[in-house]
Structure 1
Amino acid sequence: MAVLAHDLTGAGMIQERVRGQLFPEVFRDLASVEALWRSVESDPAALATPYQRFDWASAFVAAKLGCTASEQDKSLRIVVLRDAGGRPRVILPLQVARERGVRVARVIGCKHANYHMPMFASREAASMRAEDLVEILRRIGREAGIDVYLLGHQPRFWDGAANPLSLRAAPAASDAYGLILGPDPDTTAKRVFSADARKKMRSKEKKLIEAFGPVEYRVASTVEEVTSYLSAFFAQKASRFAAMDIANPYADEAIRRFIAAGACRHDDPSEVRGAAIEVSALVACNSGRVFATFAGAVSDVRYSGMMTSFDQDPVVGRSSPGDILLHHLIRDQTERGRRSFDLGVGEARYKANICDETIQLGEVTIAVTLRGHLFAIPAIAATRLKRRIKRSERLARLAKAVQKAVRRSTRQGQTAGEIKI
């Protein structure tokens, strides 16, 4: 009898209840699904990352795809799975585009989102079998003309619950890094930063104050502050990318509109509090000069870093303004009651220094047609190669050298072409 009781309350029994009882709907515009989406998102039982918030997705769609239903109809496919009682259990917002003649479905805003996990109405909903979810997506794909799903950055686990899509995932090229915030700012700061690191931080901040006057950590609370801090971010990033001879992704005006819109309330663009993206800055009190910026996707319980920048002035750089800002940011997020903090996908020194959690990520490929399968093969191979390079110091150095040589060759070719003309 004890064994029977265990079976009835275990994950296997939950999967049996979920299996075969989910019915799909596909929406082609945000307005049609907004009320349903928000109702799932606002439920404390929901399992989702900040990038599955309606306001985050809608900001991206409005900036990149357009606001009207006809514009969205061309590429939006928002999958909703309901149970037998009609309750929404899973939401997967997709953007479909033709790439080299193949219809490819990816999560909305995938290049700017650290995590592409579906939104699950509860942990029970997330306990569905991976095979069942994949079969439903294939059926939807056949009906919607999708050749392949490329669903990258799938967390293996989220808030302690397994992500069913990750069970079919190949390891991603990079993982993400985060930390659990403590009960109060002082305790968290002492755990994250060593005594020596905190002492150095205070010394650097003192030198910055000596050079520029009083300095303050600020979270944008008005549209004017959002505009000011983002203007500094875009300028600092442009300078940084130019120095590195790398194309600047933030030069795209649509991406700028997306970030600005995400940092304001969807229902009231003049209001910042409660927005999907939060913008912080380290600012000189007297001049308003922005030394460093940080922006992240937020929910009630989590801050997920999306982007950061710092002033390229060597005098400013000696004080490590980005590190100072990060120190204040972690304290502030703890004080405001958020439980988790992450610095997103990719390896970096500052992430390794403060993060105590590795968020393992996977790449999910679901081919619907033969054409989609053939399209996915080089994408899978590229991910494997990137992962191998990132985990080998020798290969990473070689890859950087090759990239540098290619950029130099491209510049020389462009210069020769200009002279010839």
Structure 2
Amino acid sequence: MSDPQGNVSAVEVDIYTELRTAERWWTEFERHAECTVFQRFAWLAAWHNHIGRHQGTTPVIVRGRDPNGEVQFIVPLAIERRGATGWLTWLGAELCDYNAPLLGRNFANGLRTQDFRWLWRAMIGLIRANPDLRFDMIDLDRMPERIGSQRNPFLDLAVLPRTYGAHSATLGLDWNEFFLSKRSSATRKRERRQFKHLAEHGEIRFVQVTRSDEIERSINLLIEQKRRFFARMQVEDIFDRPGYLAFFHDVTTDPRLRDVVHVSRLDVGDSKIATGLGLRHKNCYSLILSSYEDSELARYGPGRAHLQHLLRYAIEHGFEFFDLSIGDAPYKLDWCDIEMKLFGYYEATTLNGRTIVAVKMAIDHAKLLITRMPPPVRRLAKRVLVKILTGCRRAPRAACRNVCLNLARRRRWRRRSARP
């Protein structure tokens, strides 16, 4: 590997494992850094207080400074213990739609691929030099292509594309113009009819919740609505996971996030029929949780009406983008013109880690292959993959061994096929 450029080789890298020691310079840096809303200190600190700490997670905060002592980047990592295996991951990854570093202005612009790889090796070497920070593998997931105006330097590693992406809308300056560009005349006519039926049950009001007691009641309602939805869909209720309820109550009432968190409702008469939790960060509004009452009014599209009020709010308050996060739900495609690709990165540092990485990469390659199949075949292949993964969870050691044996057989077959 060639020597790094001067501005990279001069970076001083240090490691912090206690969040309280990083709070001052982290919060100062995030004010002008390019980052996603999920890498704000208060968000990740709440995750660690309510979830990570009880799982035995150790924060590994990497800070890079220039020769003048100015922070150039922060990489919020963590070491999680899963059984006997140590995983180096993003801090709070399970409750972050996007995982990425915080970058100083123009830090990544002009950064060569070999420069960041050299820097990454320096970070890993510093972490591994600490005997208390041992890990077997690296698993960095849901990394976006860009961080603000900069290309994500982590894409210079040997990343794998994810089979899913995220969607956001470019808002423009005028709500009516934006609305007309996104909805056909037939759709507008149908929605006017639905909203008229809503209005027959009482005055329709878009409510921005600001008082602490009202925020708590609205968040409780949102969670209740989501839990009923999970039950109807027969999927896991994420709020059953330890610490999740406390986390959402914490971040929505934390004074440090007062200008970030946006809790809203759509009321019809005395009924609170739709609720939402959004995050306001720089030029982007992110809707991270929303739901509506499964009542007789559900047929009149309260969720759609609430979303339209939120889009209008974002435009009228000067936001340039509206992020509808990960997933390809049809309603997102109706509003969004930007699809953000996401990437993952695996690396093994021990023999135990190599086995796990081999399994995870095999699964990811299978998922990518399935996305390229014709729809009928794709549905069948997904069902087969789900059965395989279920078997992996029930007998992980046997599954890992079988995957590794199959990979070895495939490599031997390729070598034999390549012989003249």
Q: Quickly name the TM-score band, shorter chain normalised.
A: 0.7 to 0.9
Cα shift at 1:367: 3.1
The correspondence of residues 278-317 of structure 1 with structure 2, limited to 5 A, is 278-284=262-268, 286-287=269-270, 289-313=271-295, 315-317=296-298
> Would the aligned equivalents of 1:89 and 1:125 in 2 still touch at CA under 8 Å?
no
With normalisation by structure 2, the TM-score equals 0.82
Q: 1:84 corresponds to which residue?
A: 67
Gaps of 5+ in 2: 389-420
Q: What's the CA shift string for 1:150-197, capped at 9, x where partnerless?
A: 111111123342111023221012111111221232333233333443
SS class of match (2:69): coil
Partner Cα separation in structure 2 for residue 307 and residue 248 of structure 1: 14
Give 1:107 deviation, angstroms: 1.5
CA distance in 1, matches of 2:92, 2:143: 14
- The residue that corresponds to 1:273 in the other structure is 258
CA contact (8 A) 2:30 2:40 kept: yes
2:307 is paired with a residue whose SS is helix
Instruction: Tell me the number of residue pairs that the alignment of Structure 1 and Structure 2 aligns.
Output: 377
Q: Which amino acid aligns with 1:97?
A: E
Equivalent residue letter for 2:329: A
Aligned to 1:136: 122
For 2:206 and 2:242, how far apart are their aligned partners in 1?
Answer: 28
* Residues 342-373 of structure 1, C-alpha deviations (whole Å, 9 max, x = no match): 11111111111111001011112233334333
1:243 to 224, 229, 232: 232
Deviation at 1:125, TM superposition (A): 4.3
Sort the Cα spacing of 1:361 and 1:405 in 2 relative to 1 into closer, same or farther, 3 A.
closer
1:226 aligns with 2:212: no
- Counterpart amino acid of residue 86 in structure 1: G
Question: Are the equivalent residues in 2 in contact too, given 1:77–1:96 (CA < 8 A)?
Answer: yes
Q: Does the 8 Å contact 2:108/2:151 carry over to 1?
A: no
Please list, as runs of the form range in 1=range in 2, the aligned pairs for 1:310-389 lying within 5 A after superposition. Answer: 310-313=292-295, 315-389=296-370
8 Å Cα contact 1:141-1:147 kept in structure 2:
no
Query: Are the structure 2 counterparts of residues 133 and 147 from structure 1 closer, same or farther at C-alpha, using a change threshold of 3 Å?
Result: farther
Match of 2:167 among 145, 154, 177: 177
**Aligned match of 1:61 in 48, 53, 60?**
48
The reply on whether 1:47 has 2:28 as its aligned counterpart is: no
Please list the CA deviations of residues 264-301 of structure 1 after superposition, one character each: whole Å capped at 9, or x if unmatched. Answer: 2344xxxx7314x32222122x32x3222222333132
1:32 corresponding residue in structure 2: 21
The whole-number CA distance in structure 2 between the counterparts of 1:402 and 1:294 is 36
Q: Is the 8 A contact 1:218 1:283 kept in 2?
A: yes
Map Cα deviations across residues 363-401 of structure 1 (whole Å, 9 max, x no partner): 122333343333222222223333444555335533676
Q: Alpha-carbon deviation of 1:126?
A: 5.7
Measured in 1, the distance between the counterparts of 2:377 and 2:95 equals 26
Match of 2:147 in 1: 158
Structure 2 distance, partners of 1:154, 1:176, is 11
Residue 187 of structure 1 corresponds to which residue in structure 2? 177
Which is worse superposed, 130-139 or 230-239?
130-139
Question: Partner letter of residue 309 of structure 1?
Answer: S
- For 2:312 and 2:13, the matched residues in 1 are separated by 43
Whichever residue aligns with residue 312 of structure 1, its letter is D
Shift in alpha-carbon separation, 1:381–1:225, aligned structure 2, 3 A: farther
Unaligned 5+ segments in structure 1 are: 1-14, 407-421
Which among 80, 89, 100 is matched to residue 106 of structure 1? Answer: 89
In 2: Cα distance, 1:266 partner to 1:399 partner: 48
The CA deviation at 1:304 is 2.0
Give CA deviations for 1:7-64 in whole Å, capped at 9, x if unaligned: xxxxxxxx82433222221111221111111111112xx2111111112112212221
Q: 1:79–1:92: 8 Å Cα contact kept in structure 2?
A: yes
Structure 2 vs 1, CA of residues 219 and 349 (structure 1 numbering), >3 Å: closer, same or farther?
same
Q: Which runs of 4+ in 1 moved over 4 A?
A: 71-74, 399-406
Deviations 1:228-265 (A, max 9, x none): 22222221222121122222111235111111211123
Aligned mates of 1:253, 1:28 — CA distance in 2: 23
Work out the CA distance in 2 between the residues paired with 1:216 and 1:404.
43
Contact preservation (8 Å) 1:29, 1:76: yes
8 A Cα contact 2:142 2:342, kept in partner: yes
- The corresponding residue for 2:415 is none
The alignment partner of 2:163 has SS state of coil
Deviation for aligned residue 1:404: 10
Q: In structure 1, what is the Cα distance between the partners aligned to 2:333 and 2:262?
A: 23
Question: What displacement does 1:109 show?
Answer: 2.0
2: CA distance, partners of 1:375 / 1:72: 20
